[in-house]
Structure 1
Amino acid sequence: MLRRTLLTTLALASASLAAQAPTLTLTHDEGTATVPLQPKRVVALDEEALGWIYALGVSPRLVGVGSAVLGPGDLTPDGRIKPERIRGTFLARGDLSGAKFVGNWTQPNLETILALKPDLIVRATWQGNGHYAQLSRIAPTVGYSEQGSGYWKKGLRDLARVFGKQEQAEKLIRQVADTNRAGARALQAAGVFRRYPRAVVISPFKGGGTYLYTRTRLIEDVRALGFKDGLKGDANVLGVGGVISDEALLGLSRDTLVIVFPPGGQYNGAQDFLQSAVGQRLKGQTVLYTQEANSPWAGPLVSLRDSPALTKAILETLK
C-alpha cells in the first residue's frame, strides 16, 4: 500500500513538473502546437524534417525517423537503418544511432512511434496528408508544406526557437544566400546567361511522368543563381510543380537550359528520359544534376551542397 501511494505521488509530481516545463506555441502549416522547449525525444517523419534537425545540430535527440525511400530491406533486425545504407548518403550528416525506423512518411507506423514516447514529432506535409490527429495524440506534432510561405526557412526557424538555436539558423540562411550570390557571379563571369538566360528544372520519374518544378525543389536556387523561368507551369502536384508534356518540352527555346533533376532511389527515371526522343532532342542544352543519396528536396544543407555543385556542373557542361 505504501509503495503504491509513493508511486502515485511520484507520478503526480512528474506530471506537475511536466506541466510546468517551459513550452512554445508554434503556428505551422497544419495548425498550432504547444511544444516543450529543448525536447529530448524527437521523431522526424521524413528526410525534409531530418534535414532541419541535422542543420541545427540536434540529431542525437532523434528516437525515430521515417523516409520516402527506405524500406524493410534497409533495416537491422531491431528496426534501425543499416549502417551501410547510411554511409555515403545524406543520412550520414547526423547521428541516427538512437533512432528507430518509423515507416514511410505517408504511412507512419503509429504503434512504433507511440512506443518511442517522443516529446516532439516533425514532418513535411501537404493538403490532404493524413494522420495528423493521431500523431498529435502521441506528441506535439508540427508539419510544414513545400507550398507554404518560406517553407524550409519557416520550419528551420521554428525548430531553432524550440532548441534555442536561432543564431545558428540565421547564420545558415545567410550562408545559403551568400553561396547563391557566389554562384551567380561565377556563371555571369563565364558568360552563361548570354547563352542561357532562362532555365527549367524537370524531374523524370521511373515508369511515370516528367515533372516541371515551379517551387521549392531546386528551382528557387536556380532563380537565385540568376536564371529566369524558361516555362510557366501548374503547381498542382503538392504545390511544387506538375506533369509536363513532351510537346511542351520540345517547344522550349534554344536559349533555355534544361536541368534534369531526378528523384532519388527507385523513382529515378533520368536515364530513360535522356535516352528518349525528347531527351535526345534537348541533349545540347541539358545538364543532369543528381542530389546526394537520401537527400531532402530542400533545406539549408541541401542548398549549400546543391548550389555550388549545380554551378560547377553547368560550367563544366557548357565550357
Structure 2
Amino acid sequence: MPKLPHIAAGIAGLATLLTFSVAQAASVDTAHGEVEVPDAPERVVTLYEGALDAALAVEVTPVGAVTTRGGDGVARYIEAHLERENRPAIVGVVREINLEAVLAERPDLILAAPQLSDEQYALLSRIAPTVVPEARELAADNWKHEARLFGAALGREAALESAIDEVEARAAGLAEALAETGIDGSANLVRWMPQGPLVMSEALFTSGVLAAAGLPVDDAGLVNQRGVHSDPLSLENLSRLEGDWLFLATLNEEGDQALAAAKQSAAFARLPVVDKGQVIPVDGQLWTSANGPLAAQAILDDIESALLP
C-alpha cells in the first residue's frame, strides 16, 4: 500500500475535485473537536471494525471498510448482515489504510478508530468529514460510547440507542436463564496463537458481554502492560487460570492448528476446566477483535448455544 508522504499531494489534489451535494447539517464532538457531518450521509467509509458494526446495526451499509484481524475480508459474523450484491470495498487492513482506495469510494463521511494517527487524520479529513472517537482508558463499556458517536454521525442516534438497549436486555435475560439452570461461575477468555495462548483482559468488550450474561471474567493478573492481553504463555502458566468456563478463540487456520497440537499435550489435559468438559471453542475474529451491537448479539448467540442447548 502507498506510503503516506508519497500520496499526500495526490490526495490533496484529487480531494478538491470532489463535490458533496449533501448539506452539512449537524456536528459531533470527536477526538479532533467538533466535526460537521452531512445530514443522512450516503457514502460512508468505515476504517474500524466497531464503526462497521455500528453502521450496519442502524441499517447503513458502508461503501468501504477495512479487513478484520487475521483475515482478508470483513469478519465472519458481519457476513450475515451484508447483501451479496451490496458489499463494502476493502480499503485497507486493520493497521494500514489505503488512502487512494478510500478516495476512490467518494465518501461523504469517514468513521475511524480512536487509534487513528494525526497524520492519517489530516489526510482523511481532506477527503470527507472524518469522525474519530476520543481515546479512553480501556474499559468493557467503551464500545457503547464509540457506537453512540458513530450513530450520531450517521444521524441514527435513536436506532443506535435501541440496538444498545436490545443487547443489555438480552444479556440480562440470558443471565437469568443461566442462573435458573444452575450455570454460573467465572470465565476465562483465551486467544490461541501459533506462538502460544494469550489471556484476554477482563476490561475488554467481550469480557463485558460475558459479565452481563452472568459469567464475569478473571484474567488472573496475567495481562501485560498494554492492558489488552497477556504475553504468550506456556501451558504451565495457563494453569493459573481458575475460571469455571474457558472460552478458547482462534483467529485463523494457524491458530486452529496450534490449539489442536496443544490439546494433545498432558499439560492441557490436566487443566481443571478441561477435565470438567467446560471448554468452549469460539471464533476469535468475533470474540477477541470485534465490538459493537451486532458483535454483542453474536457473542450472546454463542453463549446461549453452548450453555443452553
TM-score range, shorter chain: 0.7 to 0.9
TM normalised by structure 2 equals 0.76
**2:164 alignment counterpart:** 173
**Mapped contact 2:205–2:291 kept (Cα < 8 A):** yes
Q: Distance in 2 between matches of 1:228 and 1:98?
A: 36
In the other structure, the counterpart of 1:224 is: 212
Bigger helix share: 1
Q: Encode CA deviations 1:194-245: one digit per residue, 9 max, x unaligned.
A: xxx22211111233542323222421111112233432343644x4333263
Paired residues of 1:132 and 1:141 also in contact (CA < 8 A): yes
Residue 55 of structure 1 aligns with which residue? 57
SS of the residue 2:27 aligns to: strand
Equivalent position to 1:42, from 16, 41, 44:
44
Residue in 2 that maps onto 1:184: 175
2:130 to 127, 137, 141: 141
- Check conservation: 1:49, 1:123, Cα contact below 8 A: yes
Partner of 1:256: 244
- Structure possessing the higher radius of gyration over alpha carbons: 1
8 A Cα contact 2:110 2:129, kept in partner:
yes
d(CA) in 1 for partners of 2:144, 2:193: 27
Q: How far apart in 1 are the matches of 2:265 and 2:213?
A: 29
| Range 108-117 or range 128-137, more displaced | 128-137
1:287 aligns with 2:272: no
Out of 146, 155, 164, the residue aligned to residue 164 of structure 1 is 155
- Give 1:77's aligned residue: none
Q: Note the aligned Cα RMSD (angstroms).
A: 3.4
Q: 1:218 to 1:36 in 2, by over 3 A?
A: same
Give the letter aligned to residue 304 of structure 1.
Q
Structure 1 stretch 41-50 or stretch 148-157: which is displaced more?
A: 148-157
1:25 to 7, 23, 28: 28
Identity of aligned residues (%): 25
Give per-residue Cα distances to partners, 1:82-116, cap 9 Å, x unaligned.
Answer: xxxx9x75224134726322121211111111222
- For 2:237 and 2:189, the matched residues in 1 are separated by 13
Partner secondary structure for residue 43 of structure 1: strand
- Do the aligned partners of 2:27 and 2:36 also contact (CA within 8 Å) in 1? yes
Contact 1:24 1:37 (C-alpha < 8 Å) held by counterparts = no
8 Å contact from structure 1 (residues 42, 118) kept in 2: yes
Once the 2 structures are TM-superposed, how far is the Cα of residue 258 of structure 1 from its aligned partner? 1.8
Q: How far did residue 58 of structure 1 move? A: 0.9
What is the match of residue 240 of structure 1?
228
How many residues were matched structurally? 282
CA–CA distance in structure 2, aligned partners of residues 276 and 128 of structure 1: 43
**Take 1:168 and 1:21, find their aligned partners in 2: how far apart are those partners?**
21
State the distance in 2 between where 1:217 and 1:315 align. Answer: 22
Answer yes or no: is 1:310 the counterpart of 2:270: no
SS at match of 2:263: helix
Contact 1:91 1:294 survives alignment (8 Å): no
